[in-house]
Amino acid sequence: DVPHNLKFSNIWELPHAPVSGAADKILNGWQLNAIAIWQSGFPFSVSSGRDNSLTGGTDRADFSGGSAALGSDRSHAEMIQKWFDTSKFTMNAIGTFGNSGRNMLRGPRYFNTDFGLLKVTRLGHGTDLQFRAEAFNLFNNVNFQLPNNNVSSAQFGQITAVVEDSQRIIQFG
């Protein structure tokens, strides 16, 4: 359940310049491409981390009501330390399932842009030479994993990891 999911991709072949010889080999055959993804965060539930309902599974925590969302005007450091208002959740009592709703909270949004520059030079006789410059996560945006959702954990409400391979990678070939 990701309510906002925008994906954009393009391939743009630069216009062909009316030249010949060496100028043709240098000026023509260029292509730009990009892929951009923006999506709202994934939903998650708050867990008690225990089987207080004695059903063999992990229960949800109890929720005291109100809003557990904290404002988005906080710094990254503040958001990482406390993604949501953890004081609204407590361990469910023995013999109960916990009253917090399924997927009632939403994790961090995701944003990524990949960009490529490609040059194809015809060498003749059906042979091409290709040069590529590619940047993955062009803007080096940090994308965070979901926060710890276990009310019995010392790291409850904290974000402790980033999305795998979320650093910028630049390659030439």
pLDDT recorded at residue 165: 79
Are 98 and 147 members of one domain? yes
* 171 in any annotated domain: no
* 152 in any annotated domain: yes
* 1 in any annotated domain: yes
* 45 in any annotated domain: no
Is pLDDT at 48 greater than 90 in this prediction? yes
pLDDT recorded at residue 69: 86
Alpha-helical regions (H) of the chain: 22-27, 76-81
* 173 in any annotated domain: no
Percent of the chain's residues with pLDDT above 90: 72
Is pLDDT at 24 greater than 90 in this prediction? no
Q: Which residues contact 156 (CB under 8 A, 6 or more apart)?
A: 86, 89, 148, 149, 150
pLDDT recorded at residue 5: 95
146 token code pair = 């979901």
- Region of poorest pLDDT, from 39-48, 138-147, 162-171: 162-171
What band does 104 get if pLDDT is binned at 50, 70 and 90? Answer: very high
Are 36 and 61 members of one domain? no
What band does 43 get if pLDDT is binned at 50, 70 and 90? Answer: very high
Are 134 and 161 members of one domain? no
Average pLDDT over residues 129-152: 95
pLDDT recorded at residue 158: 96
* 149 in any annotated domain: yes
What band does 164 get if pLDDT is binned at 50, 70 and 90? Answer: confident
Domain residues for 98? 53-105+143-165
Are 29 and 61 members of one domain? no
Average pLDDT over residues 136-165: 94
Are 82 and 119 members of one domain? no
Average pLDDT, the chain: 93
Are 100 and 114 members of one domain? no
E strands in the chain: 5-13, 30-39, 43-44, 62-63, 89-90, 105-106, 110-124, 127-136, 169-172
Q: In total, how many domains does the chain have?
A: 2
| Entry pTM | 0.80
pLDDT recorded at residue 155: 97
Per-residue pLDDT tens over the stretch 50-99? 988 889 889 999 999 988 988 778 888 999 999 999 999 999 999 999 99
